[in-house]
Structures are given as C-alpha cells and as structure tokens.
C-alpha cells in the first residue's frame, strides 16, 4: 500500500479550504501578465497564512485557526468541462509514473504472476488535482466563494471608479439568472479592494493618494495596496551597467 506524505489530519485542512474569487480590471490583469502570471497565480505562494486567524461561529464563540490556507482563483462563469477534467487527470497520472528499474511486487493468482508497482507516486498528484478541479455543487459548499477580491491598477485613469464597476460586475455575476456558475456562499459576498501598483513604472505618490481615497470610501480593513515589480532582468542589468 502506498505511503502518503500527508496524514488524514493534514490532508483535510489542506484540501478543503476557504475559496476567494478574484475579479481584475483589464489593466490590472495586463500588469500581472508582465510577469507571466495571472493575479491568482501571483498570490499562490502566499496562500497559507503565517499568523493566527480568529473567527467567530454563529454562536459568537471565538475560534483560533493556525496555518490557514486560502484558495484564490480568477472568476470563471463556466463550470469545468468533464472532458477537460478527465484529460487533466490522465496527464497527471501519466506524468507521475514510477521510474523504470524499481523492484515490483509479484502477486501470484492461480497460473498468473502479477507484477505490481511497489509504490504509487501518482496517487497524491491525482488526488490533489481531482479535489482542485472538482466543480461546485448545489448540495454542498466546499467550492463556494466566501469573498471576492476586486483588483484595479494604480495606472488607470480613475481607479476608485473602476472599483465601483468591478463591484457591480461581481454583483451581476452572482445575482443574474444568466449565470449558474460560480457558486457563492452568502448573498452579500464580502469584498476586498486591492490596488495593484507597479513600482518600476508607476507614480508612487499617486498610488498612495489613491489608496488613502480607497480607505476613506471602503474602510481601512477592506483595502490593500499591493506593490509589484515588472522590471525584467535584462533591464536591470542594463541599468546596472550604465551606473557602473
């Protein structure tokens, strides 16, 4: 039997995690693509929180959660297609086969000798991909969005106005009968406003000014100024060469 890296106690909180949607303006998405990443991919290395999280249940009892993991994904209005999911799972299994030359387990059944792999390195990859690609269902809330991050760029003409448009778009996707997907946890989805600022090209003072305006409108706890750097290594080398 395969030896799994994670125990069941580790697997459950690592696989069934709070889901957060990301809705970006065109300019914000273009900015993240300069680093060949989507906004959700940009946040993935930071999806596990290093600080304790304090949450209250419906009975107002406080619970402390350590090492909370959050799954952030860009909003899609179409559910995953079964054919695409099957191909993804097949590719994961094909790419995770044991290396050649490993000793196999031989099991004799009547006149047949069955050579079985001593390990199943594909299993955990298959399981992780299966859980991540599983579409949300009406009868459970495992993959329903708890909140939505609205992302605009500091380089836009009216970033605060862009946040209002993104908020309206999120509301339309959630409450318009034309969209049966994605699924949302509560009718009034929590919103978090992220101002994306490229330090290699943007105006620092303007970004700070916009951020202050955001906090006045949406509250300090619901806003964040995220600074990224899209400067390429070639540009950095050229600048260093000129300075020297």
State pLDDT tens for residues 182-226.
Answer: 889 999 999 999 999 999 888 899 999 999 999 999 999 999 999
Is 2 domain-assigned? Answer: no
Is 166 domain-assigned? Answer: yes
Residues 62 and 148 placed together within one structural domain of the fold: yes
Full DSSP string of 210-242: HHHHHHHHH-GGGEEEEEE----HHHHHHHHHH
Residue 27 is predicted with a pLDDT of 94
Q: What percent of the chain has pLDDT over 90?
A: 38
Q: What percent of the chain has pLDDT over 70?
A: 85
Is 22 domain-assigned? Answer: yes
Residues 70 and 86 placed together within one structural domain of the fold: no
pLDDT at 108 over 70: yes
Residues 42 and 104 placed together within one structural domain of the fold: no
pLDDT (average), residues 104-115: 72
Residues 69 and 144 placed together within one structural domain of the fold: yes
pLDDT (average), residues 144-166: 94
Residue 18 CB-half CA count within 13 A: 15
Residues 110 and 192 placed together within one structural domain of the fold: no
- 60 Rama class: left (phi>0) / alpha (psi -120 to 50) / beta: left
Is 1 domain-assigned? Answer: no
pLDDT (average), residues 115-134: 76
Residues 73 and 97 placed together within one structural domain of the fold: no
Residue 81 is predicted with a pLDDT of 80
Residue 103 is predicted with a pLDDT of 53
pLDDT tens digit string along 57-92? 888 899 898 888 999 999 888 877 888 888 888 888
Q: Which residue has the higher pLDDT, 105 or 204?
A: 204
For tokens 């978090």, what's the residue? 192
Q: Beta strands 53-56 and 62-65: pairing type?
A: antiparallel
Residues 106 and 215 placed together within one structural domain of the fold: no
Residue 136's nearest CA partner among 85, 79, 89, 175 is 79
Residues 12 and 95 placed together within one structural domain of the fold: no
Residues 101 and 198 placed together within one structural domain of the fold: no
Residue 244 is predicted with a pLDDT of 38
Q: Which domain holds residue 28?
A: 8-78+138-243
Number of domains in the chain: 2
Q: Is 96 within 8 Å of 125 (Cβ atoms)?
A: yes
What is the SS3 string spanning 186-217? CCCCEEEEEEEEECCCCCHHHHHHHHHHHHHH
Residues 227 and 165 placed together within one structural domain of the fold: yes
Residues 179 and 231 placed together within one structural domain of the fold: yes
């Amino acid at each position: 039997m395969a030896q799994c890296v994670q125990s069941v106690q580790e697997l459950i909180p690592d696989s069934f995690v709070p889901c957060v949607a990301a809705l970006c303006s065109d300019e914000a998405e273009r900015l993240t693509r300069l680093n060949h990443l989507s906004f959700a991919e940009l946040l993935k290395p930071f999806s596990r929180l290093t600080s304790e999280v304090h949450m209250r249940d419906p009975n107002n009892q406080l619970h402390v959660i350590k090492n909370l993991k959050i799954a952030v994904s860009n909003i899609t209005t179409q559910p995953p297609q079964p054919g695409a999911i099957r191909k993804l799972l097949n590719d994961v299994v094909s790419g995770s086969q044991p290396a050649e030359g490993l000793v196999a387990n031989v099991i004799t059944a009547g006149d047949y000798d069955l050579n079985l792999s001593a390990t199943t390195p594909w299993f955990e990859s298959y399981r992780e991909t299966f859980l991540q690609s599983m579409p949300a269902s009406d009868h459970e809330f495992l993959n329903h969005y708890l909140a939505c991050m609205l992302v605009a760029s500091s380089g836009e003409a009216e970033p605060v106005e862009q946040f209002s448009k993104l908020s309206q778009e999120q509301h339309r996707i959630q409450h318009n009968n034309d969209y049966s997907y994605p699924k949302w946890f509560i009718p009034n989805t929590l919103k978090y406003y992220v101002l994306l600022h490229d330090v290699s090209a943007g105006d620092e003072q303007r970004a700070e000014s916009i951020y202050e305006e955001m906090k006045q409108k949406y509250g300090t706890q619901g806003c964040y100024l995220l600074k990224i750097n899209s400067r390429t290594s070639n540009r950095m080398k050229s600048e260093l060469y000129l300075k020297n």
